[in-house]
Chains A and B, each alone.
Chain A
Amino acid sequence: MSGQDARHGQRRRRAGRLWVQRLGFLLLGLAAVVVVAPILVVVVGIVARGIGTVDWEFLSAMPRAGMKEGGILPAIVGTLLLTLGTALVAVPVGVGGAVYLAEYARDTAFTRAIRLAIVNLAGIPSIVYGLFGLGMFVLFLRFGTSILAGSLTLAIMTLPVVISTSEEALRAVPTEFRTVAASLGGTRWQGVRTVVLPQALPGIITGVLLGLLRAAGETAPILFTVAAFYLPQLPRSPLDQTMALPYHLYVISTQVPGMPAGVQNGTAFVLLALVLLLNFAAAWIRRHFRRRRPW
């Protein structure tokens, strides 16, 4: 008798636990939908309303008629140049810093201060970078509002991402290989250059691309340092101003009355496509190289 009761109770508890599990799944699923849905709505909206405007002329022509017609070539070229300039500064400095932190630096008050600074740099709002760039590069160093000043500002903003992902990638390479390289008579740098860096490269490239795509989409840092409202020609030197996609989008969305929605959405679509392209490249590189690693 009592055994039967116990079995009955067990079955009831089991059913109760199943309900709790189902409820948990439902809530987690809802959370996922809440995260993804707005992104989907935005992307679908932009693509639906913008793709009609994007043709070869839109990508390759200068803006006309108060930017309401023609293309957005100078903004595309400007963003590409700024991204390139950012990479030229952020990659050597960032990867170099990561190699120092991961391979050479001992754990001292000094290196702890550096790490703290990197973490804090990553948390600074981008408008602060913009104002810093204005004060430091545009005014103090007299670069003027220029691609040089804008790239440097974006590079400083990108550095924390590049350094921390690169350091992570370097630390993921087993210590053993450094030991073996040393046991074969290699100096520490030879071990890093020929064994450790090649293995950390996929992770480093991924980090660099993720940092760059953030830089490509930022408006605030370029607001005072490089971005032009409208320029009738493409930039000719690093000391020229340039138009850029994010700032152009801001301008045509808020500063120009009577702007056709197609142009606005088309511009947003191009910026989105550019960023997504970088993102896919990062994902592909990561996947492509991961396959060979045994650890």
Chain B
Amino acid sequence: MAGDGAGVKFTVRELGVRYGERLALRDVSMDIAEKKITALIGPSGCGKSTFLRCLNRMNDTISGARARGRILLDGADILAPGTDVVALRQRVGMVFQRPNPFPQSVFDNVAFGPRVLGLASGRLLASLVESGLRAADLWDEVKDGLAQDALALSLGQQQRLCIARTIAVAPEVILMDEPCSALDPISTLRVEELMRTLAARYTIVIVTHNMHQAARVSDFTGFFWIGEDQAGLLAEYGATAQVFTRPRDRRTEDYITGRFG
């Protein structure tokens, strides 16, 4: 299984997810390596975003969603009843598909997490905001305009701001749900470079529709597929180089070579 040798951050076993009556994900087991980038690819509706949202229990916010199985984060089951979801989401942050800064100042956006968690105030907060913006490679562009409205930034800058906002709460894992699909190629490249830098300190799991992106940035790749019962499943999982050059599964090969369009 992927992640052998390196530290394992998530251990997922027999994970199944239902939305009401509909089975969205069936029997997924995978280990996610610590401080590596794991890409999840596959056609629309294959359950990869659903899987991603299980890792910090964001599916809880969708009514009717239920998850079965086990997801161990550093050995502790986060699906267990009594899990502190708020604390979990501090450890496992998330960046969304569309850049979605709050309609507030740049500073307030990054300061949001530390403030609600009561991590810092005053000078300490300001330095947290700065280090978050530096880590997201945005500091030089906004340091003279921290009070400006975040919506005045370009889309690429907004997405890096969202990454800074996530980093500011000092997470261990960053989940990214198609973080570049709304961005132009140049902005996409910057975010990808940023991801490589961040992988030194954070475990990153990214859902992407862009096969080249998965091949460029990730260490491991999971390929999701839609089963005959319309439920998503994990068809193949391994080191990115292996999945893209010598796929074991026929469906993976057809998909990455573009035979499905």
Contact = CB atoms under 8 A, between A and B. Distances in A.
Interface of A: 106, 176-187, 190, 194-195, 198-199, 292-294
B89 A292 contact: no
B96 A190 contact: no
Contacts of B151: 292, 294
B58 A185 contact: no
17 contacts: A106-B63, A176-B96, A178-B61, A179-B58, A179-B96, A180-B162, A182-B61, A183-B94, A183-B96, A184-B89, A185-B87, A185-B113, A185-B117, A186-B112, A187-B116, A293-B103, A294-B151
Nearest to B89: A185
B86 A186 contact: yes
Interface string B81-95: 000001101100110
Given A181-B116, A182-B61, A184-B93, 18 more contacts: A176-B96, A176-B98, A180-B96, A180-B100, A180-B102, A181-B112, A183-B56, A183-B93, A183-B96, A184-B89, A184-B90, A184-B116, A184-B117, A185-B86, A185-B113, A185-B116, A292-B103, A293-B103
A49 to B, nearest CB: 48
Interface residues of B, number: 27
Contact of B116 (A178, A194, A198, A294): A194
A183 B97 CA distance: 14
A198 B89 CA distance: 23
B61 A179 contact: yes
Contacts of A176: 96, 98, 100
Contacts of B63: 106
A194 B117 contact: no
B165 A292 contact: no
A75 B96 CA distance: 57
B149 interface: yes
Contacts of A178: 61
Nearest to A193: B116
Interface of B is mostly: helix
B106 interface: no
A186 B93 CA distance: 12
Contacts, number: 65
A292 B100 contact: no
Interface string B150-171: 0100000000001001100100
A179 B162 CA distance: 13
Given A292-B149, A294-B151, A184 B100 contact: no
A183 B94 CA distance: 6
Nearest to B90: A185
Interface in B65-118: 86-87, 89-90, 93-94, 96, 98, 100, 102-104, 112-113, 115-117
Which 10 A-B pairs rank lowest in CB-CB distance, beginning with the nearest? A185-B90, A186-B116, A184-B113, A183-B94, A190-B116, A185-B89, A176-B100, A185-B117, A185-B86, A195-B102
Contact of B165 (A177, A184, A187): A184
Question: Which one of B87, B90, B102 has the highest number of Cβ atoms from chain A below 10 Å of its Cβ?
Answer: B102
Interface in B35-68: 56, 58, 61, 63
A188 to B, nearest CB: 9
Question: Which one of A179, A180, A183, A187 has the highest number of Cβ atoms from chain B below 10 Å of its Cβ?
Answer: A183
A181 B63 CA distance: 17
A183 to B, nearest CB: 4
A178 B93 CA distance: 14
B206 to A, nearest CB: 15
Contact of A184 (B61, B98, B103, B169): B169
